[in-house]
């Protein structure tokens, strides 16, 4: 039985990846960063409420080298998926140093623990399309990076550190350069879930307006369930590699509004107000993946369309309010 460690298991991707690995009979371990969490209320609560729990949880923080080192020494995992991060782009402008410490140097703390303990451990780094930033689409593995936020800068540092540990120490260390991926488990601070989670409240009158920033930004939005499959496939490849993972289709925030409000037959322009606090000092205007290399090397392709993703998110948020679409 293979043993995997997922940092950031309580996040959107961590929870789907844990389920995916359990389906393949892995022994799954995950990190949470504090004991003050009510862990049963997190996205992996359903995997912990069984007897015995289906995943094992360890308390650590990407800021704490010593606990990471101890964890790797105790577990000696076959695969490590580094999904933990301060992952919110807008928040990274308010907390640039914290973001650098966690999202950037945090990856090196983990790589260093692996290097010192067991270099046969395979490592996945959650790299991001935000690294392309201002470089126009389509973006592939050869596209130059032009990061536009402290978050993206930190991800570029972690990306190159992953490659450096591969080249310097022979680690099987890979970067998945993932474009935006969403789901009903997406945090409500991200634009897609902010929109879908507002719809039931607008319908019931609990919320009057939906305040958003830049509606023109374009993103290549896929489904998180598809993308965690790619993470696992990358670590099964004989050689470590860096791969762009996306859908190859781009939509604006206003396209997302069109699709989401169409599910409930409402006109979003009657509800949406532009609020400058949701603009970023520097924006990423246009992301669209070229996924030819992922198709050719690991045979990955997405299975869930943009329309299916939006419908699933809206329906799930409506159901949580007892409303049927
Ligand atoms: P997410 O929902 O924000 O989850 C982030 C996870 O990191 C959470 O479990 C969080 O724990 C944990 N975390 C935050 N700070 C930490 C720290 N100091 N030490 C240890 N853990 C910490 O993110 P996601 O959407 O699942 O994304 C997973 C990874 O992929 C992230 O690295 C993200 O930057 C990257 N990524 C995401 C996308 C996307 O579109 N979703 C695209 C490309 C790359 P708490 O539960 O305690 O907050
Ligand atoms: O913004 C615009 C905003 O915060 C998308 C993270 O998972 O994906 C995510 O980063 C777009 C931006 O995602 C609001 O300006 C308008 O252009 O949902 P988001 P993101 O910044 O693309 C990448 C790949 C990651 O790696 C990150 O970890 O939507 N937008 N109005 C807004 N965005 C938010 N959050 N809130 C608004 O009100």
Q: Which ligand is nearest to the CA of 35?
A: 1
The pLDDT of residue 233: 98
Residue 289 structure tokens: 């993946």
Q: Which fold has domain 187-219+250-288+304-320?
A: UDP-galactose 4-epimerase; domain 1 (3.90.25)
pLDDT tens column, 123-175: 999 999 999 999 999 999 999 999 999 999 999 999 999 999 999 999 999 99
**What angle in degrees, to the nearest 10, is found between the helix axes of 106-117 and 65-75?**
40
pLDDT tens column, 52-78: 999 999 999 999 999 999 999 999 999
Asked if residue 102 has its Cβ within 6 Å of ligand 1, the reply is: yes
The pLDDT of residue 118: 80
**Number of helical (H) and strand (E) elements in the chain, helices listed first:** 12, 13
The pLDDT of residue 119: 81
Catalytic positions, please? 128, 130, 151
pLDDT band at 34 (very low <50, low <70, confident <90, very high): confident
The answer, yes or no, to whether residue 251 has pLDDT greater than 80, is yes
Nearest to 129 by CA among 286, 322, 307, 313: 286
So where are the chain's domains?
Answer: 3-181+221-245, 187-219+250-288+304-320
pLDDT band at 40 (very low <50, low <70, confident <90, very high): confident
The pLDDT of residue 38: 84
For all residues of the chain together, what is the average pLDDT? Answer: 97
Q: Do domains 3-181+221-245 and 187-219+250-288+304-320 have the same CATH topology?
A: no
Q: Which ligand is nearest to the CA of 139?
A: 2
Name the residue at shortest CA distance from atom 22 of ligand 1: 84
Q: Which fold has domain 3-181+221-245?
A: Rossmann fold (3.40.50)
DSSP state of 54: S
Residues 6+ apart with CB under 8 A from 33: 59, 60, 61, 62, 84
How many angstroms separate the CA atoms of 171 and 111, rounded?
9
Q: What is the model's pTM?
A: 0.98
**Ligand 1: which atom is nearest the Cα of residue 10?**
9
């Amino acid at each position: 039985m293979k043993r995997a460690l997922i940092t950031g298991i309580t996040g959107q991707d961590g929870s789907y990846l844990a389920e995916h690995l359990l389906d393949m009979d892995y022994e799954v371990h995950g990190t949470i960063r504090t004991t003050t969490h009510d862990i049963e209320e997190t996205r992996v609560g359903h995997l912990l409420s069984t007897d015995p729990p289906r995943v094992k949880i360890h308390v650590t923080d990407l800021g704490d080298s010593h606990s990471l080192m101890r964890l790797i020494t105790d577990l000696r995992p076959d695969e490590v998926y580094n999904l933990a991060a301060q992952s919110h782009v807008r928040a990274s402008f308010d907390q640039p140093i914290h973001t650098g410490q966690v999202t950037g140097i945090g990856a090196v703390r983990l790589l260093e623990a692996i290097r010192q303990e067991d270099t046969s451990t395979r490592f996945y780094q959650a790299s991001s399309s935000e690294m392309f930033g201002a470089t126009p689409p389509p973006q592939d593995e050869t596209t130059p990076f032009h990061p536009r936020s402290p978050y993206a800068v930190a991800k570029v540092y972690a990306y190159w550190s992953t490659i450096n540990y591969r080249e310097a120490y022979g680690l099987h260390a890979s970067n998945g350069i993932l474009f935006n991926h969403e789901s009903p488990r997406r945090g409500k601070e991200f634009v897609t879930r902010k929109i879908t989670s507002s719809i039931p409240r607008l319908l019931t009158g609990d919320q009057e307006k939906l305040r958003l920033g830049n509606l023109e930004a374009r993103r290549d939005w896929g489904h998180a369930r598809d993308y965690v499959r790619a993470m696992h496939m990358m670590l099964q490849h004989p050689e470590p590699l860096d791969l762009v993972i996306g859908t190859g289709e781009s939509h604006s925030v206003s396209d997302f509004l069109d699709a989401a409000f169409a599910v409930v037959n409402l006109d979003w322009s009657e509800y949406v107000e532009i609020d400058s606090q949701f603009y970023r000092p520097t924006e990423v205007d246009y992301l669209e993946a070229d996924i030819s290399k992922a198709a050719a090397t690991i045979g990955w392709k997405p299975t869930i369309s943009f329309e299916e993703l939006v419908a699933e998110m809206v329906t799930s948020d409506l159901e949580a309010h007892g409303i049927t679409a």
